[in-house]
C-alpha cells in the first residue's frame, strides 16, 4: 500500500532523496523538502516547475513517484536503501547524502551530541577522531566506549605530542610569536596539527567529509577549516554549530538527554577549557566579566604564586639553533622536555596570563591561560638571542614575529607566508645555540646567566676599560654623521 503525503511548496531549491527508515518516506509524520539532488538525479525537479503542492508516494516494490498536474517522475531505488525527502528548511552547509564523516571528538558535550546529529541529518557513518596533544590521560579514558554509545562506528586516537611540540610549538617559540603582547598561542598551534591528522584519517577510512564542534563565534572554526582547505580541498566540511537549532549549552544538554548521550557536564559546569602540552585555557562564567578576578580554584597547572616555595629554583635550558634540547644538561625529546618544565614551572606559579583578546571574527573575549613550561622556554630562547643576533636582524625578527603570530592565530599555518617567515626565522636563529640559566620564584622567571659558543658579546669590547678594537675618540665622528639629519632639521626650523 503506497504511502501518500502532500509536500508543501519549497523555494526554488532542488528536491533530493536521502536514506531513512526502510519502506517509508515519512519521518515523525513529515515529508521534507530537500537541498540537493546530486545523489538522485532522476528525481530532480525544480519546485518552480511544480506549481502548488507535489505528491510523493512509495510502493512495496520500492518505487518512488512524485506527481503534480499529471507530471510524474519515477525512480527505482535500490532494494537495500531507504529514502527520506529531507531539508524542510534551507540550511547552510553540505548538500546531498554523506557517506562517512570524520569528527574531531573530545568526548565533551558539543562533540558528543554531534555524533547522533550527524547520523540523523546526513545518514552517514561517523568515525570519531581524538588527537593526544598532551591534554592528560584523564581526558582520554573511556572515550571509545563513550563515542560508540553516542552512535559512532569507531574511535581513532593518534598520539601527536612529539609532532605537536617539535613541528608547531618550537617553530612558534623560535619565531618569538606572541599574539597581542600576551598570548603564547597554545590553542592556535594545536588546531592545525589536529586538523592535519583528521585529513589523514579521512584518507585512510575513505571519508568524504570532516566535522568539528567549534561554534560560529570562535576562532577554532577558521583554524580547522583553513587546514582542511589547504590539505584536501575536496573534503566536505560539516559545522553543526552553524547549522542546527541548538543555540547554547543548555539546549545541547537537553538534546543529549533526549538521545541518551553520555556527557561529562551538567548545567552547573562553569568553565570552558582547552588543554594541551603547551597550555591550559579557561573561559566562561565569571571570566566573561573583565572586571572580575579569577577564582583561585580555577587554576589546574599552577599553584598560587603566594603559596609557591619560599626558596627559588634554578633551571638551565640547553638550546640548539633556537630549539630547546636539554634541561640541566640532560637531553630530552621535545614533548618530554616540555612536560617536565610544566611540572617545574607549575609548582612555582609560573605562566599565568589573564587577557582580553581580539578574536578573528571581530569580537573581544577574555581568557585566562596557564603556560608554565612555555613561559620558561620563551624566556630562555629570548635571552640567548640577546647574545647571538645583531641589532638589525633582531629588529626585523621582532617585526616578523608579530605577523607570524597573527597568521598562526588566524589559522593560516599552511599559508605560504607563514612558511616563508618560518624559513627566515630558521636562518636568523641558526647561531642561537648555548644555554640559559633561569631563576624561578613565586610566579616570576628571571635570567641568572647565559652563554653561547656563537656569542657576539665580547667582554673586553664591552668593558669600560680601553680596548684595542674600539677607540672612544671615534665616537665623536660617528655622532656627527649619525645626528646630521637632526641637526639640519633644527637649523631649518630656526631659520639658520
Asked about 365 being catalytic, the answer comes back as no
- Helices assigned H by DSSP within 361-458: 372-388, 391-409, 416-428
Q: Please check whether residue 370 is in contact with residue 301, taking contact to mean a CB–CB distance below 8 angstroms.
A: yes
How is the chain split among helix, strand and coil, in percent rounded to 5? 40, 25, 40
Known catalytic membership, residue 153: no
Handedness of CA 207, 115, 152, 83 (dihedral sign): negative
**289: annotated active-site residue:** no
Q: Which of 191, 275, 352, 366 is catalytic?
A: 191
What the block records as the C-alpha cell of 220 is 577554532
CA atoms of 220 and 411, how far apart (whole Å) = 8
Cα–Cα distance for residue pair 353/53, rounded to 1 Å: 60
Integer Cα distance of 210 and 98 in angstroms: 10
**Alpha helix (H) ranges present in 123-219?**
143-150, 161-164, 170-175, 186-205
Quick one: which of 356, 354, 346 has its CA closest to 443? Answer: 346
Verify whether residue 272 is a known catalytic residue: yes
d(CA 255, CA 273): 21
Q: State whether residue 356 is helix, strand or coil.
A: strand
* HEC-encoded secondary structure of 443-480: CEEEEEEEECCCCCCCHHHHCCCCECCECCCHHHHHHH
Q: What is the torsional sign of CA 333, 335, 340, 344?
A: positive
Scanning 34-108, the segments in alpha helix (DSSP H) are none
Catalytic residue among 82, 132, 220, 422: 220
Sheet with 330-331: list strands edge to edge.
Answer: 330-331, 323-327, 313-320, 434-441, 444-451
Q: Cα(136)–Cα(115) distance, rounded to whole angstroms?
A: 23
Helix (H) or strand (E) holding 342: helix 334-346
Catalytic residue among 110, 132, 274, 422: 110
Specify the pairing of strand 125-132 against strand 100-104.
Answer: parallel
Residue 105 near residue 129, CB atoms below 8 Å: yes
Question: How many other CB atoms are found less than 10 A from the CB of residue 49?
Answer: 11
Cα angle, residue 240 at apex, residues 234 and 246 outer, rounded to 5°: 170
Catalytic residue among 86, 106, 188, 272: 272
In whole angstroms, give the CA distance from residue 98 to residue 295: 45
Cell numbers placing 90: 534551507
Nearest Cα to Cα of residue 211 among 245, 235, 190, 187? 235
C-alpha to C-alpha distance for 416 and 294, rounded to whole angstroms: 39
**Which residues fall within 8 angstroms of residue 230, CB to CB, at 6 or more apart?**
414, 415
Catalytic residues: 110, 191, 220, 272
Amino acid at each position: 500500500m503506497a504511502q501518500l503525503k502532500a509536500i508543501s511548496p519549497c523555494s526554488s531549491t532542488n528536491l533530493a532523496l536521502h536514506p531513512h527508515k526502510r519502506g517509508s518516506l515519512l519521518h515523525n509524520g513529515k515529508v521534507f523538502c530537500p537541498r540537493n539532488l546530486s545523489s538522485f538525479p532522476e528525481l530532480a525537479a525544480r519546485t518552480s516547475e511544480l506549481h502548488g503542492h507535489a505528491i510523493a508516494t512509495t510502493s512495496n516494490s520500492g518505487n518512488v513517484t512524485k506527481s503534480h498536474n499529471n507530471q510524474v517522475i519515477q525512480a527505482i531505488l535500490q532494494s537495500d536503501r531507504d529514502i527520506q525527502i529531507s531539508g524542510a528548511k534551507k540550511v547552510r552547509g553540505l548538500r546531498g547524502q554523506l557517506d562517512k564523516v570524520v569528527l574531531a571528538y573530545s568526548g565533551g558535550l558539543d562533540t558528543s551530541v554531534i555524533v547522533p546529529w550527524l547520523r540523523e541529518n546526513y545518514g552517514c557513518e561517523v568515525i570519531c577522531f581524538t588527537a593526544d596533544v598532551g591534554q592528560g590521560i584523564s581526558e582520554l579514558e573511556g572515550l571509545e566506549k563513550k563515542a560508540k554509545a553516542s552512535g559512532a562506528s569507531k574511535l581513532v586516537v593518534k598520539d601527536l605530542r612529539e609532532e605537536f611540540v617539535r613541528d608547531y610549538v618550537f617553530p612558534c617559540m623560535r619565531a618569538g610569536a606572541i599574539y597581542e603582547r600576551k598570548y603564547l598561542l597554545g590553542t592556535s598551534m594545536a588546531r592545525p596539527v589536529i586538523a592535519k591528522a583528521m585529513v589523514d584519517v579521512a584518507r585512510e577510512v575513505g571519508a568524504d567529509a570532516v566535522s568539528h564542534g567549534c561554534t560560529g563565534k570562535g576562532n577554532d572554526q577558521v583554524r580547522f577549516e583553513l587546514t582542511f582547505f589547504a590539505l584536501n580541498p575536496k573534503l566536505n566540511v560539516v559545522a553543526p554549530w552553524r547549522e542546527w537549532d541548538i543555540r547554547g549549552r543548555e539546549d545541547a544538554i537537553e538534546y543529549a538527554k533526549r538521545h541518551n548521550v553520555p556527557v561529562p557536564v551538567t548545567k552547573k559546569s562553569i568553565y570552558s577549557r582547552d588543554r594541551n602540552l603547551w597550555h591550559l585555557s579557561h573561559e566562561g562564567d565569571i571570566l566573561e566579566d573583565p572586571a572580575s578576578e579569577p577564582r583561585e580554584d580555577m587554576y589546574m597547572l599552577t599553584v598560587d604564586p603566594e603559596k609557591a616555595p619560599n626558596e627559588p629554583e634554578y633551571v638551565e635550558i640547553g638550546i640548539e639553533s633556537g630549539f630547546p634540547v636539554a634541561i640541566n644538561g640532560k637531553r630530552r625529546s621535545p614533548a618530554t622536555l616540555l612536560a617536565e618544565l610544566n611540572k617545574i614551572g607549575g609548582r612555582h606559579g609560573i605562566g599565568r596570563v589573564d587577557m582580553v583578546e581580539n578574536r578573528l571574527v571581530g569580537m573581544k573575549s577574555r581568557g585566562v591561560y596557564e603556560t608554565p613550561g612555555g613561559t620558561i622556554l620563551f624566556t630562555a630562547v629570548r635571552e640567548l638571542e640577546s647574545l647571538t643576533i645583531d641589532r638589525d636582524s633582531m629588529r626585523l625578527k621582532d617585526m616578523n614575529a608579530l605577523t607570524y603570530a597573527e597568521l598562526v592565530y588566524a589559522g593560516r599555518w599552511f599559508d605560504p607566508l607563514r612558511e616563508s617567515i618560518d624559513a627566515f626565522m630558521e636562518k636568523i636563529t641558526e647561531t642561537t645555540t648555548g644555554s640559559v640559566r633561569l631563576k624561578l620564584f613565586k610566579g616570576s622567571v628571571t635570567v641568572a646567566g647565559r652563554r653561547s659558543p656563537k656569542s657576539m658579546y665580547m667582554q673586553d669590547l664591552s668593558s669600560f676599560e680601553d680596548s684595542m678594537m674600539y677607540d672612544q675618540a671615534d665616537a665623536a665622528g660617528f655622532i656627527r654623521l649619525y645626528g646630521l639629519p637632526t641637526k639640519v632639521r633644527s637649523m631649518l626650523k630656526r631659520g639658520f
